[in-house]
């Protein structure tokens, strides 16, 4: 049977590979799971393996933090050694757009091993985002580009990537959501925080452009504090963000939010699935809220997931407090944006990925 090596480095990657690994296992494929350790805090990685039912990684590279160049280089060095010990690899599958993604794709491509990019074709048009550069380079290195939606196909066609390398499979993140939602809701995380379903907002902030710029973070926290005067705002605080909140200029606004420790996948899904509103600078959460039918305000000036705006519940509002508050009030009054679930976000994307991978190495697709 074909040998597929999955490379994960940050928690959104785990949600993407879990459905693919299940589908390949059901078809008898040989698989190896490589965890680069890009997210090294147990709350940010290991708990996600437990929640998603992922097996322990076969290889843990333990690269940890560092600058983009340092982290990418460490993954490349460590993954090259690991890949050299695995002869006969048919596919290296890299999900998403983190540093681990581009590093593993470059190593595999230079060793002549076929690369499949899961969640290919996404573009924000903003090359100041490190993730945008990772997406572009990974797509152009890959032999197989597995897209979540039709906008990805169009982006790749504009960049000259041959259509035979592109397969629209749907959104594997939604596979994990669909499979996990009953268990997540059974945890009743809102109730454990003293919150009624539909009676609170959830916010996440982690992008350097938002949390490392004091003026931007102050604007965002000021807007969130105003929202918190109308309904509770639950804030699972990313490790990157926590240190900033202790600064005297920010502490007052931050104190008006319900700050909690980072949550595992099931706990966080329990929280977001019954939220009245989500405000975020995350990419994956834009997709999850669209699937859940929960209004989402994206605290950025652009999105690499425009289908969540065109068809879903997402609205891009940037970091201007006036825009954020106006969109929030519209959502809370019921006059905000509504949406629908895009095509192929049906919980079966992992099955389509597995069939495509096997078919393209001569194996029979089930």
Active site members:
206
Q: Report DSSP state, residue 155.
A: H
pLDDT digit string (tens) for the chain, length 366 residues: 899 999 999 888 999 999 999 999 999 999 999 999 876 565 556 777 889 999 999 999 988 888 999 999 999 999 999 999 998 999 999 999 999 999 999 999 999 999 999 999 999 999 999 999 999 999 999 999 999 999 999 999 999 999 999 999 999 999 999 999 999 999 999 999 999 999 999 999 988 889 988 899 999 999 999 999 999 999 999 877 888 888 888 989 999 999 999 999 999 999 999 999 999 999 999 999 999 999 999 999 999 999 999 999 999 999 999 999 999 999 999 998 899 999 999 999 999 999 999 999 854 333
Can 3-171+345-359 and 179-333 be said to share one CATH topology? Answer: yes
Each domain of the chain, given as residue ranges in start order, spans 3-171+345-359, 179-333
pTM (global) more than 0.75: yes
The pLDDT value given to residue 10? 86
The pLDDT value given to residue 365? 36
The pLDDT value given to residue 29? 97
How far is Cα of residue 177 from the mean position of the Cα atoms in its chain? Answer: 12
The pLDDT value given to residue 11? 85
Beta carbons of 171 and 19 less than 8 angstroms apart:
no
CATH annotation of 3-171+345-359: 3.40.50.2000
| C-alpha span between 101 and 19 (Å, rounded) | 18
Helix or strand run (H / E) with residue 328: helix 321-333
| C-alpha span between 351 and 6 (Å, rounded) | 16
Task: Annotate 164-175 with DSSP letters as a single string.
Answer: GGEEE---HHHH
Task: Annotate 144-204 with DSSP letters as a single string.
Answer: EEEESSHHHHHHHHHTT--GGGEEE---HHHHHHHHHHHHHHHT-HHHHTT--TTS-EEEE
The pLDDT value given to residue 240? 73
* HSE (side-chain half, CA atoms, 13 Å) at 223: 24
Beta carbons of 231 and 256 less than 8 angstroms apart:
no
The pLDDT value given to residue 364? 39
* CATH topology classification for 179-333: Rossmann fold (3.40.50)
């Amino acid at each position: 049977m074909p040998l597929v090596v999955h490379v994960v480095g940050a928690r959104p990657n785990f949600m993407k590979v879990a459905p693919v690994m299940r589908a390949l296992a059901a078809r008898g494929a040989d698989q190896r799971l490589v965890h680069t350790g890009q997210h090294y805090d147990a709350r940010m990685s290991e708990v996600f393996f437990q929640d998603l039912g992922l097996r322990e990684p076969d290889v843990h590279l333990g690269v940890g933090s560092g600058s983009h160049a340092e982290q990418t280089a460490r993954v490349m060095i460590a993954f090259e050694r690991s890949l050299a010990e695995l002869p006969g690899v048919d596919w290296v599958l890299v999900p998403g757009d983190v540093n681990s993604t581009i590093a593993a794709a470059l190593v595999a491509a230079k060793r002549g091993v076929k690369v499949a990019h899961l969640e290919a074709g996404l573009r924000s048009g903003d090359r100041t985002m490190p993730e945008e550069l990772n997406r572009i380079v990974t797509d152009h290195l890959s032999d197989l580009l597995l897209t979540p939606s039709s906008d990805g196909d169009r982006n790749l066609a504009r960049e000259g990537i041959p259509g035979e390398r592109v397969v629209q499979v749907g959104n594997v993140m939604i596979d994990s959501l669909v499979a996990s939602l009953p268990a997540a809701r059974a945890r009743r995380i809102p109730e454990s925080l003293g919150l009624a379903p539909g009676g609170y907002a959830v916010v996440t902030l982690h992008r350097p452009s938002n949390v490392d710029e004091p003026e931007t973070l102050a604007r965002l926290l000021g807007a969130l504090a105003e929202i918190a005067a109308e309904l509770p705002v639950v804030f699972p605080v990313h490790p990157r963000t926590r240190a900033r909140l202790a600064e005297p200029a920010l502490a007052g606004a931050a104190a008006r939010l319900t700050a909690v420790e980072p949550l595992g996948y099931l706990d966080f899904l329990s929280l977001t699935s019954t939220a009245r509103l989500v405000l975020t600078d995350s990419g994956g959460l834009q997709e999850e809220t669209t699937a859940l039918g929960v209004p989402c305000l994206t605290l950025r000036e652009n999105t690499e997931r425009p289908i969540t705006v065109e068809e879903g519940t997402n609205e891009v509002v940037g970091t201007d407090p006036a825009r954020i508050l106006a969109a929030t009030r519209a959502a809370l009054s019921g006059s905000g944006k509504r949406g629908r679930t895009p095509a192929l976000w049906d919980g079966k994307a992992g099955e389509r990925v597995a069939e495509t991978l096997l078919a393209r190495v001569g194996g029979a697709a089930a």
